[in-house]
Each structure stands twice: as C-alpha cells, then as structure tokens.
Amino acid sequence: MLVKVSTLAYWGLILTVLLSENFLSLIGPDQRIMGVPIIDSVLIITVIWIIAVTQHYKNTNEVKYRFKWIMIFSVFLVFLSSIQSYRLYGQGIGLGIRPQRYFLVFALSYFPIRKLMGNEILAYEKIEKLIYKVGIAEIILYLGQFILRNMVTFLAVKKNNVYSSTRYYISTILLCLLIFICLDKIFHKEKIIFNSFVILAAMLVILAVGKMRLNFISVAAAIMIGVLLWRKGGSVKMLFVILGVVFAVMISNTEVIQSILPAINRTGKIDTLAIRDIGREFYLQTVYEHPILGAGYINTQWHPAYVAARAGEGISWVDNGVFGIVFFYGGIGFLWIIAIFGKIYKYAYKLLKNGVYLFFVMPLYWIIGCMNEAHWYWSNFLILVVFMCLLEQVMDSYEEAQNEF
C-alpha cells in the first residue's frame, strides 16, 4: 500500500508541475478543464494533493524545515498586502487575495514536498528526472512552434512580432532550472555532450522563441561565473568555453542581440528598458510614501487600484523585477527577499565547498536579473519551492556525512 501511495504522491507532484506550466503551454490560462479555469484547476488539484500527502504521511519521521518561517511569512504577506490595498484604495480583501492565490498555495506546498523528500519517499533523482523530462518536452515544443510558426499554431500563449520575427510569451523558469542542473552535471563530468546540447537548446529557446534579452544575459552571466568557479574542469572546462564562444559568435549578428546595446544606451526609439525606468521611479516613490507595507497587492479589476498603480500607462510590475515585488509588499517584502536568498546562500556556500555548484550558481541568475525580472516569483513560485526542497535534501546528506566524522 505504501508503494502505491508514494507513487500517487509522485504523480500528484508531476500533475501539479505540469498544470503550473499550463501543460507545457499547450493550454492557455483562460481555458477550462471540466468548466473550471486552468489556473483554478491547478489550485484545486494542488490543495487536494497537499491535504492528502499531509494526512497520509503525518506519522512519518520529522524532517528539518529550513525555510519554514520564510514560507509561513509568505502566507502572512498575502493577507497583509490585501489589507493594505483595502486601506489605500477600498479594494476588497478578497480581491487582494485572489491574484495571489497561486503564490499562496505554492508556498504551502513547500511543507508536503519537503516532507516527502526528507523521508526519501520522493528521491532527489526522481525530481531531477521530472525536471529533465518536462524541460526537454518544453524545448521540443517551443522550438517546434517557432520553426512551424507560419504553418501551424499549437502553443496557447500570447505572441507578437518583434525583431523581424515572432515572439512567444513563454515561461522559462523551469528551463532555467534545467540549464543549471545540466551545468552541474557537466561540472561532475556526467553526460557532457548531452547536457551541453540541452543547455544550448534551452538558451536558443530563451533568445529566439521568447526574445528575452535580459533573461538570456542573466543566465549567460551566471553560467560564466559558474565556469570560473569550476575547480576541476581541465580540458572539459576549455571545451565548454570554446562552445560558449562559438555559440556567442553564431548569435552575435541576430537582431535580438544587436538591439541590446542601443536599448541599454537609450539610443533610437523608446525601448522597454526605458519604460521600466519610469516604472521603477514610480514604484520607489510609492514605497517612499508607504515604506513598511508598500502599495498593497493590486487587483486590476478594481478601478481605483488600477489607476493608482498606473497599470494603464504601460507600466508593468512583472517587468520590474524586485521593484514590482517591493511596490506590493513594501519594506517587509524587501526583507522577505533578502531572507530567501540569504538562507539559500547560507547552505549553498557550504555545498559549493564540497563541489556542488547547482545551488550556488542558479540563484546568481535570479540575482543578476533581479532589477528587471523575478521569474522565481512572477512566473512560477512552485519552481523555487522545488529548488529549496532539492537544496535541503542535499543538505541532509551533507550533514549526515559531517556527523559521521
């Protein structure tokens, strides 16, 4: 019976991950499953899974919840920000909670996932294989859609024409996790050719399919730092550098890459980076006026809040990284972000000294791009939760080994 239940727990997590990624972007967020919007289907299934796992495994061994208080405080953030938006704009507290329901449920999912992994009911290797399978499936689908863009449309995502080609508004946070898992494998000289190919393919998706310039730069910079930190690379390290240079030369003349420097220098026509500057200035001014709780969480369906957030002027909190988060949550939101990454690096640094690179290098990508992007929050908070649980399971093994000496 235990084997069957553990299998159900695993498949429940698979279904939750797939739904959180809109079934590899094959189902749009506005589409319905049995009459229920996809976003609410995710929440219903995740809540059922959380309750079932918590109830069934309540008598298993206790595990260390190293991120427990951060996740508990995440729940408080949802309610505090909803109360703040009620105070400032008269927006109903339920309206403040509604757009945060994804975040709320995924924060709570930390506890059953950690429970399952801490008791080795879900092994690290199983989660890793899940990320490989889903990530590679996304690469195939995204590149396939881009290649066949003039013949057929099967991705249920927004798109427009930019840089003389089609841009698809895809989520890449799981792909980025896959990139850094592959990088860590290469550093340990495991399936070097295969993992290098996966990294190059995923980077191509980010650049060609998603046209995500800043995301691409952040990932590339984190990879370079990781390679520099790699102590035992030898000839493989040199090969990796050569492959990186070849890839850089191949993409250097593309319109997406050519647009980066003019955008940074603010030359030519108005660029999205300039619009982000306007947004940051406005968000910082708002936080200056409400330093502790910020503006509260805005629901664009409530007109006074919509106007106050200047959402109709092309300013988007999603495109302003941590500035958007701090705009919603204020100073306590900023401290929450510091606590997350401080805690991650507290353990990641210990593991880095023992040759585990994944947990040190992956957050570098989030930090490098944090001024403009915060995919770990805006895109899919579940991926950050899974990342934390993977980190904790490796820390369990590390601490066990330390105690043996």
What pLDDT digit, counting tens, does each position of 114-131 carry?
A: 999 988 888 899 899 999
Q: Which of 57-66, 154-163, 341-350 has the highest mean pLDDT?
A: 341-350
Residue 146 or residue 260, greater confidence: 146
User: Under a CB-based contact definition with an 8 Å cutoff, are residues 329 and 77 in contact?
Assistant: yes
266 conformational bin, left if phi > 0, alpha if psi -120 to 50, beta if neither: left
| Cα–Cα distance for residue pair 219/225, rounded to 1 Å | 10
User: Under a CB-based contact definition with an 8 Å cutoff, are residues 173 and 156 in contact?
Assistant: no
Q: Which of 50-64, 139-153, 243-257 has the highest mean pLDDT?
A: 139-153
Span 232-247, average pLDDT: 67
pLDDT over 70 (residue 17): yes
Is 359 strand, coil or helix?
Answer: helix
pLDDT over 80 (residue 238): no
**For residue 116, what is the DSSP state?**
H
Alpha-carbon torsion (372, 376, 378, 380), positive or negative: positive
Supply the pLDDT for residue 57.
85
Supply the pLDDT for residue 276.
81
The pairing of beta strand 159-162 with beta strand 36-37:
unpaired
Supply the pLDDT for residue 1.
43
Q: Which of 111-120, 303-312, 340-349 has the highest mean pLDDT?
A: 340-349
| Cα–Cα distance for residue pair 198/136, rounded to 1 Å | 8
Span 16-31, average pLDDT: 76
**For residue 334, what is the DSSP state?**
H
Residue 239 or residue 353, greater confidence: 353
C-alpha closest to that of 227 among 387, 357, 353, 370: 357
Mean confidence (pLDDT) of the chain: 85
**Block residue for tokens 């968000």:** 283
Spell out a b/e string for 287-299, using b for 16 or more CB atoms within 10 Å of the CB, else e: beebeebbbbbbb
Lowest mean pLDDT, pick from 114-118, 129-133, 262-266, 364-368: 262-266
**For residue 161, what is the DSSP state?**
E
Supply the pLDDT for residue 254.
58
Lowest mean pLDDT, pick from 22-31, 201-210, 353-362: 22-31
pLDDT over 90 (residue 245): no
C-alpha closest to that of 127 among 172, 181, 171: 181
323 to 284, 294, 339, 353: CA distances (angstroms): 7, 11, 16, 32
Supply the pLDDT for residue 153.
86
Percent of the chain with pLDDT over 70: 87
| Cα–Cα distance for residue pair 158/33, rounded to 1 Å | 20
Q: Where along the chain do its domains lie?
A: 70-98+270-405, 125-260
pLDDT over 90 (residue 67): yes
Residue 86 or residue 19, greater confidence: 86
Lowest mean pLDDT, pick from 42-56, 140-154, 261-275: 261-275
C-alpha closest to that of 141 among 149, 130, 178: 149
- The total of other beta-carbon atoms located within 10 Å of residue 10's CB is 17
Percent of the chain with pLDDT over 90: 45
Identify the H or E element spanning 255: helix 255-258
pLDDT over 50 (residue 3): no
Cα-to-chain-centroid distance, residue 299: 22
